[in-house]
Structures are given as structure tokens and as C-alpha cells.
Amino acid sequence: MTPKTIRAKGLALALLAASPAVAQTPAEGPDIQPAETTAPADDTETLAACVADRDRLALFTTDLAGRLAEAQSSCTARIEARLGPASEALTLCKEEVDQHQRTNITLNDRLLACETAPRTDPDRIAALEAEIARLNERLANAGLGAEPGYGYAGGSVWSSFVAGDELDRVQGSLPRLDISACPAALDWLADQGGADRAIRIVVWAWDGDTSQLCRRNEDGTPGLAPARPQDEAHVVIFR
């Protein structure tokens, strides 16, 4: 350390010793209080208005929900009243359909039983076939058939050709050929061929209870003539 530096330091210490004592307590300042948190008047009014709006909205929502429920209930009641008859009719229809289905099943079962039962009984099948053949023979002998038209009484050209004194026996209860059908019967008789071909084109016709001969004249036109016991003709019926 130089002499100059030593002198400067001593001077500074002397000045410090000569100055008044510095107070060791902190300097007193103004008393600072915390700021109050009171809201402004404008914010309070806004909050009150918001609460009032909320309450009005709640009342409106409650009232709207009540009106909606009432309207829905009324609409449902009207719809049910209108759909009531239709629903009842639909129920009845379903019941009828179910009944028809049950009936159909029953009938199908019975039909199946009818179809399968004879197959297991050959004797029954043979008896039925014989009965069918017998009935067909009776129909043929009576001059009857499945299709409408003229036919020979007795079923054949030979059995139908009889004299007047045999007419009642062959005619029996078979339908009598009216004189108005004479032309058509002659045409049918002339059209027969093969085993059914008639040798003579003449038929018995009836005018009420009187039998007459129906035959073609010399000019080919049909005509009627009084019958004698020995006259012969075909007994033709319309089946």
C-alpha cells in the first residue's frame, strides 16, 4: 500500500467518526391497508337481471312441457279412438285366417289319408275299379256320358234299333227325343261311323205321348210320319 493510499483511508475514517449517529430503526412510513373487494353497482344489477331471466325461463320451460304432454295425450287418445275399429277388425281377420289355416291343415291331412290308405289295400283297389267299370257300363247302356250330346239308348247302335212294340221297353225312363230335335238327331245319326254307324237313318221322336218316325224325305229334308207297331227306328237320346 502506498503512502498516498494510506492517507486517503485515514481521512475517510476521520470523517465517519465525526458525523452524527445513524438511527438503527427503520424509517416509519404511511400505514397501507388492503383494498376492499366490494363489487360495483352495475355488476350487481346485471346479476339480478340474469337471475330473473333464469327464473322466467324455468317457468316457461315447465309450462311448455305441461302443454306438450297434454297435447300428446289428447292426440294419442284421438288416434286410438280412430284406430280402435280397425284394430278390432284386424284382430278378427287374423283369427279367421288362423282358423282357415287350421281347417286347411285338417283337410290336407284327411286328403293325404284318403290318397294313401287305398294304396295299402290292393283288394279294395280292385273292388273300386270293378265298381267304376260297372257304373261306366250302366251309363253307356243308358246312353249317358260325360260330354253333352246325342247317344244311342242301350249304349250301342244295335241295342237302340227297335220296332214300335219294343219302344217302351228300350225307351224306359230315358229322356224322350222331342220332334223339334228330329233334324239334329238325324244329322248326328248320319255322322256316326265304324261300329256306331247306323244302317238306316231313322229315329223315334215324340210329340207329347205320341211316338212318330223321324226320317229324311226324298228331297233330303227331315220329316215326320205316323208310326206302326212293326216300324223300326233308332232310340236316340240327348244326354
Give the range among 112-116, 152-156, 212-216 with minimum mean pLDDT. Answer: 112-116
**3-state SS class at 194:** helix
- From 204, 222, 108, 110, select the one nearest 160 (Cα to Cα): 204
Pair 214, 227: CB distance under 8 Å: no
Burial of 151 (0-12, 13-18, 19+ CB in 10 A): buried
Q: Is pLDDT at 7 greater than 70 in this prediction?
A: no
- Tell me the pLDDT band of 140, cut-offs 50, 70 and 90: low
Q: Is pLDDT at 163 greater than 70 in this prediction?
A: yes
Q: Is pLDDT at 21 greater than 50 in this prediction?
A: no
Give the mean model confidence (pLDDT) for residues 118-131.
Answer: 78
Give the range among 21-25, 35-39, 42-46 with minimum mean pLDDT. Answer: 21-25
Q: Is pLDDT at 196 greater than 80 in this prediction?
A: yes
Q: Give per-residue pLDDT as tens, 75-100.
A: 888 888 888 888 888 888 888 888 88
Q: Measure the CA–CA gap between 157 and 198, rounded to whole angstroms.
A: 6
Question: Phi/psi at 146 (nearest 5 deg)?
Answer: -75, -30
The pLDDT value recorded for residue 22 is 43
The pLDDT value recorded for residue 24 is 46
The pLDDT value recorded for residue 23 is 42
Q: Is pLDDT at 143 greater than 60 in this prediction?
A: no
- From 218, 152, 130, 214, select the one nearest 179 (Cα to Cα): 214
